Amino acid sequence: MTSPDTSLAPGTGLPVGSVAPDFTLPDENKRPVTLSEIDGPVLLVFFPFAWSGVCTTEFCELRDDLSVFTDAGVQVFGVSTDTAQSLKPWVADQGYTFPFLSDFWPHGAVAQQYNVFFDKAGMALRGTFLLDADRVIRFAEVNMPGERRDQSQWKQAVAALLG
């Protein structure tokens, strides 16, 4: 893993046009997922915690509109500092059909690489990154804890990516 870019203001996320850092994280079933091994565009959706109200609402909306992304060939991943053991029952309970990655240990290392780690609370901010097939960031936003994201912007970014 590379160290985070210290020239960026904390919590602002990586800028559009930068290359997304590679990583390997376990999914909710403890299977390793490596970003560089995924073909096609990727939507990384960092979030603070499973089982919280805003996170659940956001991911239920994403679940219900998932075809907008999958029909465009975009693979979606939720990423949090929760353990895989806590993500697994939440994923099952909510009926999510896309992977959730655990950035638990080293704690928040990937969130730090993407400059969306909130160190005072030990959690990821609501960072969203759309990566093209070459792993260049084409859309990026960071929302603070409790601040719900507007997923229509994600859909517009996917449409723009497809041209």
- DSSP string across 90-137: HHHHHT--S-EEE-TTTTTHHHHHTT-EETTTTEE-EEEEEE-TT-BE
How far is the C-alpha of 55 from the C-alpha of 60, rounded, in Å? 8
How far is the C-alpha of 110 from the C-alpha of 154, rounded, in Å? 21
> pTM score, two decimals?
0.93
Q: Is 43 helix (H, G, I), strand (E, B) or coil?
A: strand
Q: What is the chain's pLDDT, residue by residue, as a tens digit (163 residues)? A: 444 444 566 688 999 999 999 999 999 999 999 999 999 999 999 999 999 989 999 999 999 999 999 999 999 999 999 999 999 999 999 999 999 999 999 999 999 999 999 999 999 999 999 999 999 999 999 998 889 999 999 999 999 998 8
Q: Would you name the residues annotated as active-site residues? A: 55
Q: Which CATH superfamily is domain 25-31+39-140 in?
A: Glutaredoxin (3.40.30.10)
